[in-house]
Structure 1
Amino acid sequence: MTRIDNGVDAALLAQIHQLYGRQSHLIDGGSARAWAETFTPDGEFCSPSYPAPVCGTDDLEAFAGRFYVTAAEAGEVHRHVVTNVAVDRVDDDTLRARAYLQIVATARGGQSRLVRFTTIDDLLVQLEGSWLIHRRTVTRDDA
């Protein structure tokens, strides 16, 4: 297989892209529990857009649920757009992935607008054959 970068082959890179694609569809579609389960059971989501880190499956589920409900109450559909994914192997069971994340809101029957443009920096671990996010750190471009 062709090596992409630092021990990450094309098949592994495709798995990580699938993880990010699935994550985006889950949170945007209101599947909060399934989105939370893309993190490790003790996973963390850290973002300056929110007052404190969100930790653990139950809190991650509640966070994703609020995200979806808030958009719906505003009469909007929100979409996560992940691009420019760069993956490096830390060790056999750990990866570091960095990517750009845009959140786009579209008012029902109206225009789309960019809510925010961020960079995500993820530590992923392999558990029981699946890659899961252990810690996501979000950095806003205006920071």
Structure 2
Amino acid sequence: MTDAFAGTGAVADAAGTALYQQVQHFYAQQMQLLDDGHAEEWARTFTDDGVFEVGGEAVRGAADIAVAARRTTDKFAADGIQRRHWTGMLTVSGTAGGDEVTARCYAVVLETPAGGDPVVRRSTVCADTLVRTGGRWQVRHRRVTRDGLD
């Protein structure tokens, strides 16, 4: 495997740039699905046997991930809280033409109560194994660690 970008941040090649853009676009679409309350569609961005791990607790399988995501999104909606996940500082390692990459980014979670001001609720690191299936990227394994706790 090679880094899509060299250690200095320089573009390795056009294929590496395209891979980086694909993964960045995947995260933008995926996070917006969750933030807009589309829990089941968001869960379909995981493989059928995908793992979502936060703080040592893991949910396994896209079906169970969907149930957990729906429960969480419904709770925030009932409480009148809009959540936004902001990702950045993305790194991607893999082969540009390959079907599996590792990706790591920072994810900041903002919460805005109805009529209120946004607050930073979480600062995390998201480490993923992504696989290309049927021409689209999916998460095989996600590990989220919270700054200051994990």
Q: Could you say which residue in structure 2 is the equivalent of 1:59?
A: 64
Structure 1 residue aligned with 2:34, among 27, 42, 47?
27
Structure 1 stretch 82-91 or stretch 22-31: which is displaced more?
82-91
1:141 corresponds in structure 2 to: 147
Write the letter of the residue equivalent to 2:29: R
2-structure distance, mates of 1:124, 1:87: 10
Contiguous gaps of at least 5 residues in structure 2: 7-11
Within a 5 Å distance, the mapping from 1:73-88 to structure 2 comes to 73-88=78-93
| Moved segments of 4+, more than 6 Å | none
Of residues 82-91 and 54-63 in structure 1, the stretch that sits farther from structure 2 once superposed is 82-91
1:86 shift after superposition: 0.5
Q: What is the CA distance between 1:4 and its match in structure 2?
A: 2.7
- Aligned equivalents of 2:78 and 2:41: distance in 1? 21
**2: CA distance between counterparts of 1:66 and 1:142?**
26
Does 2:143 correspond to 1:129?
no
2:64 alignment partner, SS class:
helix
TM-score norm. by structure 1 comes to 0.89
Give, in angstroms, the shift of residue 117 of structure 1.
Answer: 0.4
Secondary structure class of the residue paired with 1:30: coil
Q: What whole-Å deviation, never above 9, does each CA across 1:116-141 have from its counterpart, x for those lacking one? A: 10000000111122111100001110
CA separation in 2, counterparts of 1:142 and 1:113? 17
Does 2:125 match 1:119? yes
Q: How many angstroms does 1:23 deviate by?
A: 0.9
Counterpart position of 2:9: none
Matched, 1:71 2:76: yes
**Larger strand proportion, structure 1 or 2?**
1
SS of the counterpart of 1:4?
A: coil
CA RMSD of the aligned region, Å? 1.8
- For structure 1, the residue ranges without an aligned partner over 5 or more in a row are none
Across the two proteins, how many residue pairs are aligned to each other?
139
Query: Which sits farther off after the overlay, 38-47 or 81-90?
Result: 81-90
> Which one-letter code corresponds to 1:71 in the other structure?
F
| TM-score, L = length of structure 2 | 0.85
**Of 37, 43, 54, the match for 1:36:** 43
Match status 1:93 vs 2:113: no
Q: Which amino acid aligns with 1:86?
A: T
Of 60-69 and 113-122, more deviation after overlay is shown by 60-69
